[in-house]
Amino acid sequence: MSSSTILLCYAEVFPAYLDPITSVQQTSDGNAVLVSTLDSTIRLMDKSNGQLLQSYKGHLNKDYRIRSCLGPGDSMVISGSEDGKIYAWELFTGKVFETLSAHDAKVASAVTCNILRNEFASAGVDGSVIVWSAT
């Protein structure tokens, strides 16, 4: 780190024996962090103490770097999957409430949200980008 870099928080969230982290996003209030790993699990972690707040399962993420994101208002978690689908979970319950077929059943590798337009976009290894309405 350079002398002008300030470290606000450092937490070793996962023991070394767990699978690698593929994406991370802080909640809009800055109190929690959404963490995706290569064990097909997404975790919402408390930033102050590293406590697991919720986990999200159902998608497949074993081999590729799959990026996940928080939806509008941090009300949902959205992720791609190695089965080519997009999954959406309710933030607090962790239950899947939407599964979308995308990317010709190939890996949906990235999802990003635009909260101002209430949309999200997914990208896949098939070379396509799809813009979805989050409503």
Q: For residue range 38-69, list pLDDT tens digits in order.
A: 999 999 999 888 889 999 999 999 998 889 99
Q: Which residues lie below 8 Å from residue 92, measured CB to CB, with a gap of 6+?
A: 54
Largest distance between two CA atoms of the chain: 47
Residue 135: per-residue pLDDT: 66
| Of residues 127 and 76, more confidently modeled | 76
Q: Residue 13: pLDDT band by 50, 70, 90 thresholds?
A: low
β-strand partners of 56: 42
Residue 37: per-residue pLDDT: 92
| Of residues 4 and 2, more confidently modeled | 4
Position 27 pLDDT exceeds 60: yes
Buried b (16+ CB within 10 A) or exposed e, 30-50: eebbbbbbbebbbbbbebeee
pLDDT, average across residues 110-125: 83
Position 134 pLDDT exceeds 80: no
Q: What is the mean pLDDT of the chain?
A: 85
